Each structure stands twice: as structure tokens, then as C-alpha cells.
Amino acid sequence: MRKATELFSLALIALSLTIGTAWAANQPQQKILANGLKVIVKEDHRAPVVVSQVWYRAGSMDERNGSTGVAHVLEHMMFKGTRAVPSGNFSKQIAAAGGRENAFTNRDHTAYFQTLERSKLELALKLEADRMHNLVLSKAEFEKEIEVVRNERRWRTEDQPHGKVYEQFNATAFQSHPYQWPVIGWMNDLENMRAEDARAWYDTWYAPNNAVLVVAGDVQAAQVFKLAQKYFGPLKAKKLLPRKPQEEPAQQGIKRVVVKAPAKLPYLLMGWKAPVVRDIDKDSEPFALEMLSGVLSANAAARLPTALVRESQIAVDADSGYDSVQRGPGMFLIDATPSEGKNVAELEMAIRAEIEKLKRDGISEEELNRIKAQVIAAQVYQRDSVFYQAMQIGEMESAGLHYAAIDKRIEKLKAVTVEQVRAAAKKYLIDDTLTVATLDPQPLDDKKPAAAPKGLHHGG
Amino acid sequence: MADNHYGALKMQIKKPSQIFHWLFLLTALSLLALPAQAGVKIQSWKAKSGAKVLFVENRDLPMLDVAVHFDAGSRRDAPERAGRADLVAGILQLGAGGLNEETIAKRLADVGAQMGPSFDRDRAGYSLRTLSSKREREQALDILAKVVQSPDFPEAVLQREKTRTLAALREAETKPAAIADKAFYKALYGAHPYGLPSGGEIETVAKLTREDLLRFYDNHYGAARAVVAIIGDVSRAEAEAIAEQVTGKLAEQGTCEELPKVEALTKPQVQRIAHPATQTHITIGAPGIARGDPDYFALYVGNYILGGGGFDSRILNEIRQKRGLAYSAYSYFIPLQQPGPFQLGMQTKKQDADVALQVAQETLQKYIQQGPSAAELKQAKNNIILGFPLRIDNNRKLLEYLGVIGFYNLPLSYLDDFPRQIEKVSARAIQDAFKRHVHPDKMVTVMVGAPE
């Protein structure tokens, strides 16, 4: 059920590193090894815990058509054994040390992480260095794991109407950029993927000079650099393939797509092409767009929930989203679910009316200051999580920005004016670059879920 | 995984673009384990209002977390009013102390505070996170105090929230996971209120009135049964004042009826529910244990080995690692005030569902018959004991633990005792505990999207 609790999670926004008081955080420290591996350490001594993350600058946007999903498949295979550490043993060793671990693949990057009691960092670095260059990738292991990934796709997308809408939205909005395909890959590509595809991916992108090691927590930076040198230092750099810009051609008119899936309520997803941060010092529009998204939906008093959910009650939910930091083209999103008896066309009209109001009248200082207050507070809150601090560094770096951009971004956000927000809305929320995806709910056909089956008995 | 909240001013639309290697289905588990570390000093007292307070002073960051919980979860619902408890919890913040919902939201956002309800079968309440500086803290706490103690239940808001809830309930009826969950709890608990869908039923929510909500609030949001958890940048004296501020105006004691006992299942039951999804959602289980059960530690360690320990667990190993049948497969106990569920589950391709079910059943049976191996036990203990510091390494996690310790009357020494208790668990104790609590021949099996 999506209810009030969701507003709470939406309020978890805008997190950054430093505050200028007695509580000022340590600045990260950086060292680049001779083989190109960048090592960034963020000391935080609140708890005897350390987070280690290895970020590879290789995500689904580096894939080719026909092999979509291979970045994520390789991520799974990274747990399936090296010449030194047999399949499953990586996880076993981390678990035996009391650690937690996982990995994730995104459009821009693939990352692996462990959280451990502070004295166990060396184990994580040793294991990560090993699988950076020593992976086995056996055919037998691949055949089992690809089944897992297909099941993951069924669970994550095939049977999730909103997941399907998002997938079709991207496939429609982007005509040439690889953001057009899903991170998990098309099912047919997963059905035809071979161990050699994963091998080729690994050989191409898994190299110290295409990775960033981020360590955060109760550690001494000098000690971490020493350990990193010991384990990653001997690895050889690779000559990386040149990356093509693959710039998305300018969109010249509205695009629409409809997805049919078993559901009750329709769903509407609108997205406009938007800029992202390329030069943290010079850019300003991405920050205006971040504040714009905040004004639309960062709290329960923001515009979308106020106008659509509470006042006109045309929607049961309405939300916006915009990522200013990513490698590929940007997108400003609004999604909403119509109330019963309302349809997506009416809802789209209502959203458009809100946008027109925004362009015509702009926003108030009060609204903007409210979002700034949230940004400032979130700077403090985010320091409650060492894991998150490491995440921020990794995201910034893998997007090609320096970790110093974390603090600069906050300064930029604080400097945004109401006029900049209005100007950004006028410039970017236009029909020519708009893509609209809608869910057309289908009945579960005649095989309705059985109502309370007869003889449903409870013991006792 | 608790740390899954990145996003840089990313008011995230639910984009399934970031995908994980495997799921940490540890939410329930992490509540199970109340970990320990020397250095977390919990202070506890009874407020003048009668509320129980648990407090940890932590000056590391200029922030404050406060949570107030009540014995007002869905187990306090009556069948004909299912969904009432959830609706009450959600609506408290939508009009209180004469402030409308928009003013409440604005006052919180203006000082960068975050507040929201939490709700489960046992507990309902609110958590607040704010900066600890005076202006911010006072404005935020004033809102929390109003929301918890002086809700207005505006009629128009109630009608709208009912409409939204009904829409969500109808939507849930199309979702395999929600269908499975509802059928599972119903089959496990029958007439006991744990068997009610915690968000209610379409028919029952549609009939709820403002009177119903008010009565529920009056009966279940009393000071004597409130638990206040506080952690952060305040002194003991300030914490005392905060506890008073957020509970002092509550009625002293609501009336809570005795609930019936949870009955053990007496025979197996299988429900195969049709659904057009490509995967079958399989859930197997039975009522398990209550908080404070003497077998708790044995079952906790034992379940790590069975299905709680990810790649260390037999279930994930048999279902996923050996056969590729599912992406996630798990088991857990959810200890509640009364015996909460023991649950084992997975999602698998429809054609594989019967095989997966059989593998899961055999794995469970074998585990109960044979118990864990020495190597498995050692691995489980290592992970749980050496990993303790991870479970309490931030205020958000600690706040949750304070709430659980307070609500379930666990000893304040619980954290310190935990590693010793884990260390003491033997293979024999695990096997005995599983034999007493888990009976594979008397379990509920729900398959949604079952093969025809």
C-alpha cells in the first residue's frame, strides 16, 4: 500500500557532506595508484565500522544492442569464483567476518560493496582486488546464473506494470542513446547471452584504471592507501576502449506510448529531456531543475500533492524526479496515478495546468526557502550513514565529476533563485521534448484470484 | 538493507534502474536481532504521563530522532472494521491541534524536519528526525506533539484518505505479492486479528466513520502504553521534557481488550490461486514465536542457516545457487507480541513452481530432521557476532531498537547480553527448537500464479 508513509521516504532528500560547525566532517582524501586506480577515503569515526566500495565505470550505457543486460549479468558472475577463490567463497569469507555485501548495476556504473567491523577491511580489499583481474567465468556457473537473472527480470519487470511502463518510456524517449534499454536487459538478449559475452565485458571494462575504490568509516586514510597499494597495486592497467559520445538527437515533438498490463489503476509517466551537470563550476540549470523538482514534490505541502492529491483529488499519488548527476542525457520526470473514475488524459491535463502556472507565475521565495531548508538539514542527516557517504562519492566520481562536487553542489543549490527556477521550467518543460507513457490496465482475465476458497480452515 | 536511501535531491520516482545482485530480505531479521555493543548507554524511565521512555544521548551530530509508539497496530482491529488502525495512524498528521495538513507539512519542511507514521500488526506511531538546534527542534517537536496528542480527524480528509485507501486496496488485489500475503495471513491466523489484512478490506474501509476512528484513537493511544524512543543531541533533562511534551496530554489509559490466543495449525493446507503473472509467488509457513520466547536465540541462529543468511543459507543455496529457480528465496521468523509468522518464500517461473516447492519442502524437512552441521553453526555465529557493530552503527537503527526494546519489554541489558546468548546456542538446541516450533506437516502453502 502506498500511503502517507511514502511521503516520509520522499522527504529523504538532498544529502551532502559538510557542515561548517564544530561537527564539521572530515574531507575525503584521495590517492591515485600507478595503475590508475583512484582510491578515496572518507574518515568517519562515529562507529567501529568500515564500508568498502569498488565502482567500475561500466554500466548498461556501455553495452551494445544484442547484449543488453551483460553489465548486470557480469555483476552476478563476479560472485562465481576466481582462480584463487572458488565460487561462492567470496560471500562466505565476508559473512564469516561478520560482513554484509552486495553489488548493484546501473546505467552508468557497476559497484560492489562490503560493510564490516573496522578491523576486517583488509579482507574486503584482498578479495576485491582478486576478482578485479582473476575471474574464472565458467560455462557451468554461467548457465545456472543466467537462469537466476531471467527470473530476476520476470520478478522485477515482466510482472510489474509500473516497471514495464518505465521500460517502455525509456525505449520511446531515447532513440539512439543506450539509456533506451533496461539495465536488466531485454529478455531475448538474456535468452541468447553466452558466457563469452560476459567474458568479453569483463576483459573490456574491469581494470584498475576504470575503477574507483571508496572506503568510508573508522579507518586511517594512510593505512587504507597502504592496503590498497598492497592488493590493487600489482594489477595492470588496460587500454580502455574509446567511449563514443552517442549524443541523443534532438527530439522534435511529443512522443507517446501505451503499455497494457494486468492492473486496476492506470498510471502516467511524463518526462522531458533536460541537461545534467557537466561542469560543476559553470553549470546552473541542473540545480534550478533540482529545486524545481523539490518545489513540486519534496514534501507533503509541495505543489503536486497539494494541487492534484488534496485539492482537485484527481490523483491518488503524484511525484517528480530529476537526477542532475549522471553520465548520459538528463530527464525531468513526473509520475502520477489517477483517482478512480479519472483517466490519464484528465490527469495529464491537470499536470500541464500546474506546469503552465509555474511558467507563468513562477514560484515564491517561501517555497524555495523551504526546499533549501530541507537541503541544509539533509546535509546533517546523511552523515548518520557511513554507507551513504561512500555512495555519494562513488556516484559523483563514476559520473565523471570530482568528489569535491558534492559540497559545491550544495552551494549551488543554496544559490538558486526563484527566477532561475521559473526560467528552467519555461525552457525545459516543453512539448517538443516530452515523452508520455501510460499504463492501460487490463483485467486479470477470467482467472480472477479466487475469493476466499471454501473450506479455508484454520487449525485449532 | 537499511542503507538503501541514496538519491541526491532525487525525489525518486520508483525507477527500477538500479538493480541489486540479490535481495537483502533482512528487514524482519534485523528486527529479530537486537545487537549489542558496549558503549550504547540506554537510559530508561517512566514519564510523568505514564509513558515509557528509552533514551540514548549521542552528541556526534547536531540532530535528534524521536519515535512514539502505541499498542495500536492492526491486531487491535475488529474484523468488521479492518483497516481502521492503519487509517488512524496515517491520518493523525493530516490535521492536528487546529493546524491543517498543509500547515503541518510546511512547518516541518521549513525547518528541514522529516516525520512520518509507522505501522505494523502490533505497533503504530510516528518518528521524527530534526536538527537539534533550538528553533528547528522546537518547531518540529511542537508538530509531533500535536499530531500524536491532538489529532482533529477532519471529515473531508477522512473521506479523501478512504478513497485513496480503497484505490490502493483494489490495486493490491491485482498484485501477486499482495494477494499471497493476504491469503497467507488469513490461513495462518483464521479468526485471530493477526489474520486480518493490516490495511483493511474494501468492504470494511468503505464503511469506516469518523466516530470509528475517534473511538479507536481514544482506546489505543493512551499514555500508559506509549513508548517514547529518543536518540541524539540532547541532555537527559531535555529528553525528559521532550517525552513529557509528546505524551503529557494523552489520556492516561485507554482500554485494550485481551486478544485471543494464537492457535497452532492442526493440518496442512494448500491454496493455489490463479494469476496471469509469469512467475508463481510461493509462501509457506505457520505461526512461529512471540517476542521473549526462550527459543528465540536458537531459532534466530538456526534460521540464519536455513533461510536468513543469504548465500550462507540452505534455502538460497538449493533454490538459487544449485538450480537457478529463483532470484530471491528466504525464510524468517517475525516475533510479535503473540506468535508471529514463520515464513519461507520465493518467486519462480510458473513452469518451475512445483519443482521449487518440492525443493523448498525437502530442504526444510531435512533441516529439521538433521539440524545444522558444525561448520554451518560456526559460520552463522561468526557472522552474527562479528557483525554486531554494523547493526547499531547509526542513530536510525538505534532508534528502531529502542522502540522494540521498549514496546516488547525486553531487558535494557538485552544488547549487552546478545552476543553471549548467540554464542551459547548449540546445534542440538537449534534442532530441538525447530522441532518444537516448525511442523512441515502442518503448514500453509500459498501459490499465487500457480501452474494450471
Q: In chain A, what residues touch B129 (CB-CB under 8 Å)?
A: 381
Per-residue model confidence (pLDDT) at position B182: 97
Burial of B210 (0-12, 13-18, 19+ CB in 10 A): middle
Q: In chain B, what residues touch A162 (CB-CB under 8 Å)?
A: 14
Per-residue model confidence (pLDDT) at position B201: 97
Give the residue from chain B lying closest to A271, CA to CA: B13
Rounded to a whole number, what is the distance in Å from the CA of B268 to chain A's nearest CA? 9
Residues 352-381 of A with CB under 8 A from B: 369-371, 373-378, 380-381
Which whole-number Å values give the CA distances from A186 to B23, B173, B281, in the listed order?
Answer: 21, 28, 22
Residue pLDDT, tens place only, A154-184: 999 999 999 999 999 999 999 999 999 999 9
Residue pLDDT, tens place only, B121-135: 999 999 999 999 999
| CA–CA distance, A393 with B287 (Å, rounded to integer) | 44
Specify the 3-state DSSP secondary structure of A69: coil
| CA–CA distance, A71 with A68 (Å, rounded to integer) | 8
Rounded to the nearest integer, the mean pLDDT of chain A is 92
| CA–CA distance, B95 with B150 (Å, rounded to integer) | 9
Rounded to a whole number, what is the distance in Å from the CA of B437 to chain A's nearest CA? 15
Would the CB atoms of A154 and B6 count as touching at under 8 Å? no
**Residue for cell digits 511514502?**
A6
Give the residue from chain B lying closest to A59, CA to CA: B18
Q: What is the enclosing helix (H) or strand (E) of A136?
A: none
| CA–CA distance, B23 with B29 (Å, rounded to integer) | 13
Across the interface, of B20, B105, B131, the residue whose CB is closest to A380 is: B131
Is the pLDDT reported for residue A9 higher than 60?
A: no
Confidence of residue B8 (pLDDT cuts 50, 70, 90): very low
| CA–CA distance, A41 with A46 (Å, rounded to integer) | 15
Q: What is the mean pLDDT of residues A92-110?
A: 97
Q: Contact at 8 Å (CB) between B120 and B74? A: yes
Q: In chain A, what residues touch B119 (CB-CB under 8 Å)?
A: 5
Sign of the dihedral defined by the CA atoms of residues A349, A354, A355, A360, in that order: positive
In 3D, which of A440, A457, A378, A449 has the Cα closest to residue A19?
A378
Q: What is the mean pLDDT of residues A393-409?
A: 96
Across the interface, of A150, A293, A409, the residue whose CB is closest to B11 is: A293
In 3D, which of A306, A307, A308, A316 has the Cα closest to residue A264?
A316
Across the interface, of B12, B90, B383, the residue whose CB is closest to A98 is: B383
Is the pLDDT reported for residue B26 higher than 50?
A: no
Confidence of residue B35 (pLDDT cuts 50, 70, 90): very low
Would the CB atoms of B394 and A460 count as touching at under 8 Å? no
| A341 and chain B in contact, CB less than 8 A | no
| CA–CA distance, B374 with B368 (Å, rounded to integer) | 15
Sheet holding A38-43, edge to edge: A29-32, A38-43, A211-217, A49-56, A110-117, A100-105, B19-20
Q: What is the mean pLDDT of residues A64-82?
A: 97
ipTM, 2 dp: 0.91
Per-residue model confidence (pLDDT) at position B257: 82
Residue pLDDT, tens place only, A18-71: 333 344 568 999 999 999 999 999 999 999 999 999 999 999 999 999 999 999
Specify whether A75 is catalytic. Answer: yes
| CA–CA distance, B82 with B100 (Å, rounded to integer) | 26
Query: Can you read off the three cell numbers belonging to residue B291?
Result: 517476542
Query: Can you read off the three cell numbers belonging to residue A138?
Result: 565458467
| CA–CA distance, A247 with A328 (Å, rounded to integer) | 8
Across the interface, of A91, A155, A297, the residue whose CB is closest to B11 is: A297
Residue pLDDT, tens place only, B330-357: 999 999 999 999 999 999 999 999 999 9
Residue pLDDT, tens place only, A113-133: 999 999 999 999 999 999 999
**B16: amino acid identity, one letter:** P
Is the pLDDT reported for residue B28 higher than 70?
A: no
Query: Can you read off the three cell numbers belonging to residue A52?
Result: 568498502
Q: Contact at 8 Å (CB) between B303 and B3? A: no
Is the pLDDT reported for residue B30 higher than 60?
A: no
In 3D, which of B302, B297, B272 has the Cα closest to residue B376?
B302
Which whole-number Å values give the CA distances from B120 to A201, B164, B197, in the listed order?
Answer: 45, 19, 10
Higher-pLDDT residue of A24 and A75 is A75
Confidence of residue A7 (pLDDT cuts 50, 70, 90): very low
Specify the 3-state DSSP secondary structure of B134: helix
Confidence of residue B256 (pLDDT cuts 50, 70, 90): confident
Residue pLDDT, tens place only, B42-61: 999 999 999 999 999 999 99
What residues does A29 pair with on adjacent strands?
A41
How many CB atoms within 10 Å of residue A431? 11
Is the pLDDT reported for residue B384 higher than 70?
A: yes
Higher-pLDDT residue of A16 and B222 is B222
Give the least confident one: B111-115, B336-340, B412-416. Answer: B412-416
Q: Name the catalytic one among A63, A75, A101, A367.
A: A75
Is the pLDDT reported for residue A6 higher than 90?
A: no
Confidence of residue B13 (pLDDT cuts 50, 70, 90): very low
DSSP codes of every residue in A274-334: E---S-TTT--HHHHHHHHHHHHHSSTTSHHIIIIIIIS--EEEEEEEE-S--SS-EEEEE
| A349 and chain B in contact, CB less than 8 A | no
